[in-house]
Structure 1
Amino acid sequence: MILAPLLAVGLGAAAPDPVSVERAFAADARKLGQWTAFRSYAAPNAVMFVPQQVEADRYLRGRADPPSPLSWQPVVSFQSCDGSLAIDQGPWQDSGSRLGRFTTVWLRAETSAGRRWMWVYDGGETLTRPLARAARAVGRRASCTALPANVPDADSREQGFLPPPDAPMPTAQAHHSADYSLRYAYWSDASGRRTFRAWLWKGRAWQLIIDQKIAA
């Protein structure tokens, strides 16, 4: 499997940061309806987990909004050097007692409406204890020093950048920003347990920033 780049174009003009967009996304879910907001912010090729992997466009098409939407807040945002890709994480809650952690991957790309951030991956996990909230999310940007080139598949597999060979398709995916400074991969095993991993370029090597294993 070859790592697939997530390409963004026309990044010269200023744009809202992904944390601001994440907060607007969450606010619209409460104001306009959960699935209405999901549709509005989704990229055409977005995937989500409900809990199985589905194509967001197909799953969300015509789906009625739940009466009580989820709420969520970003507490950390990892961003590529070129500003085209970001991964946000933070706590989510429903109207009852369920809570957990969300992971949103954002791509900044050119659309017919102009440059904007769109989510391409949305996944969450249920937790038994709430995550700490933060008044301001922590932003961590990849180093722009000595940006890496692509890594051969064999080395990528050894370093964990690619899903294991026995991971079922199409649930096994690996992507990176156009400048290779932010990478992520996800896959499921036969039991349905899901893994999500992400790496940030630190100037001399990649740092594993997320190693998330979600129960079936």
Structure 2
Amino acid sequence: MRRLLLAAALSSAIAGDAAARERDRPLAANPSAFIAAEIAFSRLAQEKGQWTAFRETAAPDAVMFVPQRAIARDWLRTQKDPAEAVKWQPHAVYISCDGNAGATTGAWQKGPANGYFTTVWRRDPKKGKLSWILDHGDALATPRAAPDFIESKQAKCGSRPGVAVDAGDEGADMVVGVSPDQTLSWTSSVRADGSRRVTVRMWDGTAMQPVIDDRVAAAPKP
């Protein structure tokens, strides 16, 4: 009887270890899903309208900067689609180890204007759907050159770090987001003059390293 109990306990422990490994296993480590979501987002803007595309792909708590931080769905509710929608292309993607969050960045064009964007995406672990939770960008005097290949990186797995956060920008509206496994974080800060900074960090096994660091100057006064 004792042998049977020991065998059962050992079997249960092994099953528990296997379940834990499966739970911590990266979810297909699939950066291409985030790239596909960004491309589909851009295509939807051309097919159905710019702000319609933003509304249909935003998470309920998604934020934009106009230039102050705003709940995207509230702000978008009153926006009419422009006659010409902005076009954009992802150049790089960075995802958390668990595959539940990612950040894409790239270039946009609208008429003669050019610029860059960064989008933070969140994956619904039950449905698998990707929705954007932060979106921002700015104009550029010189367009970003398109890369030969879209860069993709995944955070280091196998650890649960504390998230590194800037000491803070005194007087700024600052918010920090983090993936469920804490291997991807994003910090956004906005000052009263509308200037802002968006930084995305990724765990490399020893530290949270910046992979995106966008800084937007305040709009010139009229």
Q: Shorter-normalised TM-score: what interval?
A: 0.7 to 0.9
- Report the Cα distance in structure 2 between the residues aligned to 1:110 and 1:142, rounded to whole angstroms: 18
Deviations 1:17-42 (A, max 9, x none): 11001000000100111111111100
Report which stretch shifted further, 59-68 or 17-26.
59-68
Are 1:120 and 2:133 an aligned pair?
yes
Q: Are the counterparts in 2 of residues 195 and 214 from structure 1 also a CA contact under 8 Å?
A: yes
Q: Percent identity?
A: 37
- Report the Cα distance in structure 2 between the residues aligned to 1:63 and 1:130, rounded to whole angstroms: 27
| CA apart distance, 1:62 | 4.7
Q: What residue number does 2:15 align with?
A: none
Q: Are the counterparts in 2 of residues 146 and 204 from structure 1 also a CA contact under 8 Å?
A: no
Alignment match of 2:75 (pick from 45, 52, 59): 59
- Report the Cα distance in structure 2 between the residues aligned to 1:12 and 1:180, rounded to whole angstroms: 15
For 2:53, what is the secondary structure of its paired residue?
helix
Map 1:9-48 onto structure 2 (within 5 A). Answer: 17-48=33-64
Alignment match of 2:120 (pick from 105, 130, 133): 105
* Larger RCO, structures 1/2 (Cα 8 Å, 6+ apart): 1
Higher alpha-carbon Rg: 2
Q: Tell me how many residue pairs correspond in the alignment.
A: 192
Answer 1 or 2: which has greater helix percent. Answer: 2
For 1:58, what is the secondary structure of its paired residue?
helix
Q: What residue number does 2:171 align with?
A: 166
- Report the Cα distance in structure 1 between the residues aligned to 2:27 and 2:191, rounded to whole angstroms: 41
Q: Are the counterparts in 1 of residues 116 and 137 from structure 2 also a CA contact under 8 Å?
A: yes
For 1:73, what is the secondary structure of its paired residue?
strand
Are 1:131 and 2:144 an aligned pair?
yes
AA aligned to 2:171 is D
Unaligned runs of at least 5 residues, structure 2: 1-25
Cα RMSD between the aligned structures?
2.1
Unaligned runs of at least 5 residues, structure 1: 1-10
Q: Are the counterparts in 2 of residues 143 and 181 from structure 1 also a CA contact under 8 Å?
A: yes
Q: Are the counterparts in 2 of residues 196 and 213 from structure 1 also a CA contact under 8 Å?
A: yes
For 1:207, what is the secondary structure of its paired residue?
strand
So what's the TM-score if we normalise by structure 2?
Answer: 0.79
